[in-house]
Amino acid sequence: MALQAGGMAMDTASRVRALARFRMGDALFRQITRAAAVAVLILLGGVILALVEGAWPALRTFGVSFLATQSWNPVTEKFGALAPIYGTLVTSLIAMVIAVPFGLLIALFLTELCPKMLRRPIGIAIELLAGIPSIIYGIWGLFVLAPFLQVYVQPALIATLGDVPGIGYLFAGPPYGIGMLTAGLILAIMVLPFITSIARDVFEAVPAVLKEAAYGLGCTMWEVIRHVVLPYTRVGVIGGVMLGLGRALGETMAVTFVIGNAHKIMPSLFAPGTTISATIANEFTEAVGGLYTSSLVALGLILFVITFIVLAAARYLLLRIEKRSGG
């Protein structure tokens, strides 16, 4: 009896020590994860403070006119961010208008129509596009895509759409090859793998029983996609689109090669332009004087704010969708 009682006491003590170790491990893990989260916030705050501090001389000198003028003259130290902001928004819009429908269609083909033996090779090929360095896209765009657009595509668009009321001004002017449209096409190719991969993953997550039930009710494939697949996956699809938009807004080297780098706002999509990232990449190493450098840092701050607004709006949209669907 004494031996049995002693054994039970030892088992209880060992269990107590084990529980203490588990609690200590949990507490340590909780502190590590909390420290990681706080470190991210500190890093983000440091970036914001550095941008605000560097941009303050330009913002103090030019005020609101920095956002409303397109003048960019380092000699006279007159700077305005309107042209880079316009180029960033327009090229990103072109990219999303092209990449979103193509990405969703490719994802639907891979999940609903593609033979099983071809799904993996096509999926791998699409994902490999995301691994190509942006400078390679830029070189390809400058030496292959831009000449092709200049010779074949842009003249045809000018001849067919240049005189259409309401949209003709978008396709007016000489075919330069490089310009806003070319930059938008390059961005569309670059963000296409992100949108396609995320959309394919969320489409594959749709329970098969839901689609089988819809087919059992007599729905066509298009009706199943429209009324079952897309509503079930809309949150994930919107997340993938926002990820692609964030990539398009911040892309630098590929756009720098093909956009023309002109600080002007032209209505034609064929005209050269510039973006915030391209302006910073082109001129930061040549910036002489505190005001010039501060203006470039101010452009970086504006790009940060634009990206933050886009991501915040996307998050708000996702929350509204989840609330409406009862999630």
Identity of residue 68 = A
| Structure-block tokens of residue 233 | 């996956």
Round to whole Å and give the CA distance between 240 and 232.
15
pLDDT in tens, 95-154: 999 999 999 999 999 988 888 888 888 888 888 888 888 899 999 999 999 999 999 999
Alpha helix ranges (H) inside 63-174: 65-68, 82-108, 116-130, 134-140, 146-148, 154-161
pLDDT at 325 over 80: no
Per DSSP, the residues of 62-77 read HTTHHHH---EETTTT
In angstroms, the Cα distances linking 269 to 22, 87, 198, 243 are 63, 10, 30, 24
* 94 neighbors 170 (Cβ within 8 angstroms): no
Burial of 122 (0-12, 13-18, 19+ CB in 10 A): middle
pLDDT at 80 over 70: yes
Using only C-alpha atoms, what is the Rg of the chain?
27
Other residues' Cβ atoms within 10 Å of the Cβ of residue 24 = 10
